[in-house]
Structure 1
Amino acid sequence: MKVSRATRAQLAREASRIRADQQRHGAPVPAITDQITRTLPITPLEAWRLAYGWSRRHVVEAVGEIYRSDRLAPPGLTTAMLCRWEHGHARPGPEYVYALARVYGIPPTQLGFPLPTGSPGWYGHPIPQPRQEPHMPPEYPELTAVADSIALHGHDARGDLAEQALEFYTQRYSDFPPRVLAAEVARCRSLLMTHTGPDTRRVLGWMSALLGNLAHHTADPAGALIHLGTAARVGEQIGDPHLNSWALGAQSMVTMARSRPIEALELADRAAHHANTPLRAAQITAWCRLRPLAALGDTAALAAHTARARQDMDRAEDEPGRFGFDRAEFELHLAEALLGQDPVRAAQHAHTSASLKRSGSPGWAAAVTVHARAQASQRQAEDAVALGESVLDTVPPGSLRATTHQRLRSLLGDLGGHPGGGTLAERVSLLA
C-alpha cells in the first residue's frame, strides 16, 4: 500500500502533536509509543523513534555507537534502509533488530518483527528483557488472544487467519471499551503490515476503517480522518466498493461532528456512488445526509432523503457487525435529525432504537441519550434527567463512547440550567 509523501508528513506532524500532548501530562516514552500506534497507521519501529522525537540520522548514528561499544565495525545502515523498515517495505535482519532494541531500551519483540525461535541474541549478547512485574492476567483475554495468535504465526499468518481476526473485531466491536479495542486492533494491524498479498491488504484496509471509527468514538477526529482516509484509498485501490463507501461515509459523519455540513454532504455524494445495495444506500443516507440537511435547515431535501432511506431500509435485511447496518441504528439517525424540528417524532424514533438494542450496549446508550434530548426539547426536564442518569447508572464510564459524552453534554445544554439537572451535570463533568 503506497502512501504519499504528503500523507507521511501529515502522520509525522500528528505523531509530534501526540508526543507533545502526552509529555505535558508526564507520560513516559512507552505510553507515548502506544498512543501513536493506537492513533496512527504507523509501524511500532517508526512509532518508537517518533515517541523519542529522534530523526532517522540520530538512530543510524546510535546503532553505529552500539556496534563500536561492543568493539565491532559499524554496519552499513543508512537512513534510507531505516525508512524502508519503518514503512514495512523491507525487514531488518535479527542483528539489526537487536541493535535497534538496544537503542530504544526495549525488548526486540516490541519492534513488531518476529524473531527466530531460540535465537541467542545479538552477536552472542543476551536479548534485553523487560523489567519483571507481578503477573497480571489480561482484563479481556479473549480480545488480547487474537493479536497474540497472529504474533505466534509470524510470517506464516495466512489470509484466512487475518480475516478471522477482522471478523472477531467487527462482530464484538461493542463488547469492549473503545480505547482497549483500539489498542488491540492497532497491535494486530502492525503485525500484519509486512504481508503484502491482496487479501491481507483488504484486511488492513478494514482494520484502518475500524481504527478510524474507534478514534471517532474516543474524541480524536484528526486520527479518525487519517485512518478513514487510508481505508478509503485502499478500498479504491483494491476495488472494494463496500470499504470505499463505508470509509467515505464515516468520514462524512466525523466531518459533521466538527460542524461542517457542506463538506459532510460532499463526502456523502462520494460515498453514495459506491453504495451498491439497498442496505448500504440506506446507511449512507442516514449517516451522512439527514443531520447535515437538518443543520442547514433544508426541510424539503431532508423529507425527500428520509423517504428514500425508508424505502431502501424496507427493501433490505439487517446486517450485523460494525460494518453492517440495522433498523436500530437507522431509527437513531432519524431521531437525531428530527431533534430540532419535531422532538415528539424524535422521541418516538429514539425509543424504538433503544428497544431494539441490548440494555447497556453502546447503541442503547446513544438512543436513550437522544430520547432524553427529545424530552428536554418538549420541556419534560424531569424525564430527560432520569433518562440521562439511567445511561450513567447502566454503562461503565470507560465503556461510554465519546459520541455519547457529547450527546450528554448537549442534553445539559437542552436543559438550560434546570434545577433538576445539577446532579446530572456533576456526573457528566467527571466523564472527561
Structure 2
Amino acid sequence: MKVTRAARAQLARDAARIRADQQRRGASVPAIAAQIIRDLPITPLEAWRLAYGWSRPHVVEAVTQVYQQDGLAPPGLTTAMLCRWEHGQARPGPDYVHALAQVYQAAPERLGVPMSLRVSGWYGHRMPQQRQEHLMPSEYPELTAVADSIALNGSGAGSGELAEHALDFYNLRYSDYPPAVLAAEVARCRSLLMNGKLRDTGTRRVSGWLSALLGNLAHHTGDASAALIHLGAASRVGIDVGDTWLAGWALGAQSMVTLSQGRPTEALELADQALTYADTSLRRAQIAAWCRLRPLAVLGNREEVARTATSARRHMDTAEDAPGRFGFDRAEFELHLAEALLAGDSVQATDHARTSVGLKRVGSPGWAAATAVLARAHAVSGAYDGAVEAGLHVLEVVPAERMRSTTQDRLRRLVADVEGCSRATELRDAVRGR
C-alpha cells in the first residue's frame, strides 16, 4: 500500500521525537537508529538518516564529497533517488552503498543494503590493472550507455561520427533527465573526447557544443558562474572552428544567464552580439524572443519590446520548429513573449502563457516554466487564487530533482507577486520546502 505524503511527514516527526528522547538519555547514533527501526515502519537506510537528524540534500552533498575525496567526478545522485532507496523502491549500486557506509559510519548490512559478495572492484576498491570508471545509477541505463560507448571505442575508427551521435542524443533528450544527472554524463563524455588522440576540427566542434550544454545545465542547476565559464568557452570554440550557430547560441545563453544575475544592459549587449550570428528565420526568432525581449522589458523599453516581438513573430511564422535544446519551437516562443509582457500587458501575457502550456506535455520542464509564468500573469491581473493554485500544481507535479532553477526562480517571484493575499503563506511554505 502506498504511504501518503502526510503519513511520511508524521513518521519523520515521530523519528525526530525518538531522536530527541534518546539524545537526552545520552544514546549514540547507532542506538537511536535501532530504536527508530524498532518503533517505526521505515527502512534502516531512512532510520539512520533520521537518527543523525539529516535532510536528504545533506546526505546527497555528503556522498558527493566522498566521491570527490577519492578523486572521482561528482555522482548524479539526487534526493529523489535517495528517497526511492529509503522507501525500498530501488536499490543503490555498489558504489553508492560504499559511499553511504562512509557517510553514516556504519556497515552496509546495518543500513539494510548489504554488499553483494559477487561484486568486486566497487567504489574505492579498484580491481588490479583496471581503471574504475565513475558509475551512474541504474535508473538511466540508456543515458550512461552513450559515454560508455565513447569510452569503449576510444580513438578508433568512426570516433568523430560517434561523438556527433552522442551530441545529438544529449541535445534531443535534454529534458528527459534531471539536470544534475545529465550534466555528469555530458561532462564525462566531453572529458573522454578531450583526452582522446583525435584533435580534429570536428571533434573540437562537438566538444564546444558539449560545453554549451554544460553551461545550460549549470544555469538550470543554479550555478551562474560555472554556466558563464562553459558558455564562454563554447562561443570561443564556435568562432575558432567557424561554427556560427555554436557561437551565436552560446552568446545567447550567456545573455540569459547574465540577465538572471540582474544585469539587463549587459544581457542586451550579448543578445545583440548573438543576433549577428543568427542566419536563419528560426534562429533570428529564437535570439529575439529568448534573449532580447526580457532584458528590454526589465529596462522598461516597451516600444522596443513591441518592435522586437513583432520582428520575432514575423521570423517565427516563416520558420519550422526545430527539436532539442539547441532548437526552438512555438511553445518556447510563446513562453518568452508571455514573460516579457508580464509588467506591461497581463491579458496578453496570460494568453501567450496559456498557449505555451497547451503545447507542452504536463510535467515536462517547458510545461513547468510556462505554468509558472501563467501563474504570475494571474497574480499580476489580481487573480490570486488561480495564481497560487497554478504554482502549487507545478510543485505537486514536478519532482524536486527535475525542477530547473529557472522555474524555481519564477515560483519565488510568484510568491512576491501574491504577497498579502490569503494564501500567500501556503505558497511561500511550499516553495521553501523545495
The alignment's TM-score, normalised by the length of structure 2, stands at 0.71
After TM superposition, the structure 1 = structure 2 runs for residues 78-227 of structure 1, keeping only pairs within 5 Å, are 107=126, 121=129, 138-156=138-156, 158-194=159-195, 195-227=198-230
Taking structure 1 as reference, are residues 128 and 35 closer, same or farther at Cα in structure 2, changes over 3 Å only? Answer: closer
**SS of residue matched to 1:418:** coil
State the percentage of identical aligned residues.
58
Matches within 5 A, 1:237-316: 237-316=240-319
CA contact (8 A) 2:150 2:159 kept: no
Amino acid aligned to 2:249: W
Supply the distance in 1 between the matched residues of 2:324 and 2:131 (Cα, whole angstroms).
41
Supply the distance in 1 between the matched residues of 2:219 and 2:280 (Cα, whole angstroms).
25
* Aligned partner (choices 411, 414, 417) of residue 411 of structure 1: 414
Counterpart contact for 2:341–2:348, Cα < 8 Å: yes
Aligned-pair CA distance for 1:424:
2.1
Alpha-carbon separation, structure 2, partners of 1:399 and 1:137:
16
Look up the SS of the partner of 1:289 in the other structure.
Answer: helix
In the TM superposition, what is the alpha-carbon distance from 1:423 to its structure 2 partner? Answer: 2.3
* SS of match in other structure, 2:321: coil
Root mean square deviation of aligned Cα: 2.5
Q: Contact (CA 8 Å) 2:144, 2:185: kept in 1 or not?
A: yes
Aligned-partner SS, 2:155: helix
Preserved CA contact (<8 Å) 1:106 1:130: no
Unaligned runs of 5+ in 2: 1-57, 77-123
Tell me, in whole angstroms, the C-alpha distance in 1 between the residues paired with 2:172 and 2:426.
36
Q: 1:30 aligns with which of 67, 81, 86?
A: 67
Please state how far the C-alpha of 1:299 moved relative to its aligned partner: 1.1
Report the Cα offset of residue 35 of structure 1.
Answer: 6.2
Distance 1:426 1:189 in 2: 39
Alignment of 1:280-359 (within 5 A): 280-359=283-362
Amino acid at match of 2:228: L
Number of corresponding residues: 325
Looking at structure 2, the residues matched to 36 and 255 of structure 1 have their Cα atoms a distance apart, in angstroms, of 26
Is the Cα contact below 8 Å between 2:175 and 2:365 reproduced in 1? yes
Paired letter, 2:423 = G
- State how far apart, in whole Å, the 2-side matches of 1:340 and 1:350 are: 14
Give the SS at the match of 1:28: helix
Counterpart of 1:366? 369
Query: How far is 1:394 from its partner?
Result: 1.2
Q: CA deviation digits over 1:144-186, x for unaligned, max 9?
A: 1111111111222611101111111010000000000000100
In structure 2, what is the Cα distance between the partners aligned to 1:354 and 1:28?
Answer: 39
Task: State the 1:254 CA deviation.
Answer: 0.4
TM-score (norm 1): 0.71
Deviations 1:24-75 (A, max 9, x none): x65635236556799xxxxxxxxxxxxxxxxxxxxxxxxxxxxxxxxxxxxx
The AA in structure 1 aligned to 2:223 is D
Of the three residues 388, 396, 404, the one matched with 2:391 is: 388
Kindly state the Cα deviation for residue 138 of structure 1 after the two structures are TM-superposed: 1.0
Q: Judging changes above 3 Å, is the alpha-carbon distance between structure 1 residues 136 and 278 closer, same or farther for their aligned structure 2 residues?
A: closer
The one-letter code matched in structure 1 to 2:67 is P
Deviates more, 1:387-396 or 1:135-144: 135-144
1:186 corresponds to which letter in structure 2? A
The one-letter code sitting in structure 1 at the alignment partner of 2:190 is R
Q: 2:367 corresponds to which letter in structure 1?
A: W
Matched letter for residue 373 of structure 1 = R
